[in-house]
Amino acid sequence: MEKNVMETVKALKGRSLMEPFDFSVDELEALFCLGDDIIDNPQKYAHICDNKILATLFYEPSTRTRLSFETAMCRLGGKVIGFADPKASSVSKGETIGDTARIISGYADIIAMRHFVEGAPKAAAMASSVPVINAGDGGHQHPTQTLADLMTIHRLKGSFDNLTIGMCGDLKYGRTVHSLLKAMSRYNNVKFVFIAPDELKMPQDLIDELGESISWTETKSMEEAMPQLDVLYMTRVQQERFDDKEQYERLKDSYILDKAKMALAKEDMMVLHPLPRVNEIEFDVDEDPRALYFDQAIYGMYVRMALIVALLGLTPGELTWEKTRRLPLAIHPEAKEVACTNPKCVTNNDRAVKALARPTEDGHWACEYCDTVMK
């Protein structure tokens, strides 16, 4: 790796990852270069975590994400402790998230937390003595999914600039597409094509928020969009999202990717999907070399390896015996105590977490834990 990349990686030591935008464009670039180096030279990294422990604290089952993290740590030579399910766990019995995080950070070197409460990983990170990775907090953030998406594009396209990205399916509620849109908006000359029925269109607020930084068109027709795309990001159109079941029945097949639609696409288009897939991509598309959603899961594992190495500040061939201390989290300098209105926010679900909000540009307050804007 180049020297400036290595220095950028080193500067991530002790950081936590709460949302995809915690890292600058340069930091992400360095992380993906580290990921490339791990892919290309697995031996160099196979023992880098020999004396390190990852704790996977999953208060909500998410087998794919958990196994991706655990594999990542194992392939770095590290070990894993944790729990997979709140019911198999007694940690939550009357104990605050902060106390649990503080105890576990006494055992482990790094924590990946999945929680059904929004902002819970941030509350954990504030109490933990070691870096914390948000492995999904309710409907709020799932930053390592976005890193997996970006790593796949970076690895296979070489760059993020000048791409046309189609996003298809449920663009209204899909957390992954919102994060990916924001993340990709930071690169040059990226064009977006939003492919969705009226019921599931990309929210106007989000488009407004990104403003000039994105160039986009929208369509209801996959067929129309296909020929332009460099990347097609598929998500599922779920029946539950429709009030009108007949409307769902009429529309559902339009957003299923099949061989016929693939025939309209460029030869080097990438099909991505966060998985699990239900029926939104037909099984016979899997054999198409452009179907890269299973590779995407593998790149997700590699970017988690890169993330662990970076947050722990490790260097190949050099074992450190000191624990990597967590750096302070970025809290807005003008943040103050303002009650959050989101009932799923950790401030409303954990007696030790005090409400804390930052001023927004348009004069409101936004929760520092779950980002809900109080209006």
Q: By the criterion CB under 8 A, which residues form the site for a second copy?
A: 42-43, 46, 50-51, 53, 55, 61-64, 67-68, 70-71, 74-75, 79, 81-85, 87-91, 93-96, 98-100, 102-104, 106-108, 275-278, 283, 294-295, 297-298, 301, 321, 352
Nearest distance from residue 346's CB to a second copy, in Å?
15
Nearest distance from residue 356's CB to a second copy, in Å?
15
Smaller CB separation from a second copy, 211 or 317:
317
How many whole angstroms separate alpha carbon 228 and alpha carbon 231? 9
Nearest distance from residue 301's CB to a second copy, in Å?
6
Q: Check residue 20 and report its DSSP letter.
A: G
The angle at the Cα of 203, spanning 202 to 205, to the nearest 5 degrees, equals 140
How many whole angstroms separate alpha carbon 302 and alpha carbon 140? 23
Nearest distance from residue 126's CB to a second copy, in Å?
12
Measuring CA to CA, how many Å separate 87 from each of 116, 319, 348, 360? Answer: 13, 36, 22, 38
Smaller CB separation from a second copy, 64 or 250:
64
- Quote the tokens at residue 303: 């970017």
> What is the phi/psi pair of residue 52, to 5°?
-115, 155
Nearest distance from residue 262's CB to a second copy, in Å?
18
Q: By C-alpha distance, which of 125, 128, 131 is closest to 103?
A: 128
146 close to 183: Cβ distance less than 8 angstroms: yes
Nearest distance from residue 63's CB to a second copy, in Å?
4
- Quote the tokens at residue 327: 């750096």
The SS3 of residue 167 is: strand
The SS3 of residue 195 is: strand
Nearest distance from residue 326's CB to a second copy, in Å?
14
How many whole angstroms separate alpha carbon 152 and alpha carbon 295? 8
Nearest distance from residue 19's CB to a second copy, in Å?
22
Smaller CB separation from a second copy, 89 or 228:
89
Residue entry with tokens 């639609």: 261
Stretch (H or E) spanning 271: strand 270-272
> What is the phi/psi pair of residue 194, to 5°?
-95, 120
Nearest distance from residue 367's CB to a second copy, in Å?
20
Smaller CB separation from a second copy, 53 or 125:
53
Smaller CB separation from a second copy, 17 or 292:
292
How many whole angstroms separate alpha carbon 309 and alpha carbon 316? 9
Smaller CB separation from a second copy, 213 or 239:
239
Smaller CB separation from a second copy, 126 or 195:
126
Nearest distance from residue 199's CB to a second copy, in Å?
21
Smaller CB separation from a second copy, 55 or 147:
55
Handedness of CA 222, 225, 229, 233 (dihedral sign): negative
Smaller CB separation from a second copy, 101 or 190:
101
Q: By C-alpha distance, which of 137, 149, 158 is closest to 271?
A: 149
Provide the edge-to-edge strand list for the sheet that holds 132-137. 79-83, 53-58, 110-115, 132-137
Decide: residue 204, CB within 10 A, 0-12 exposed, 13-18 middle, 19+ buried: exposed
Smaller CB separation from a second copy, 70 or 371:
70
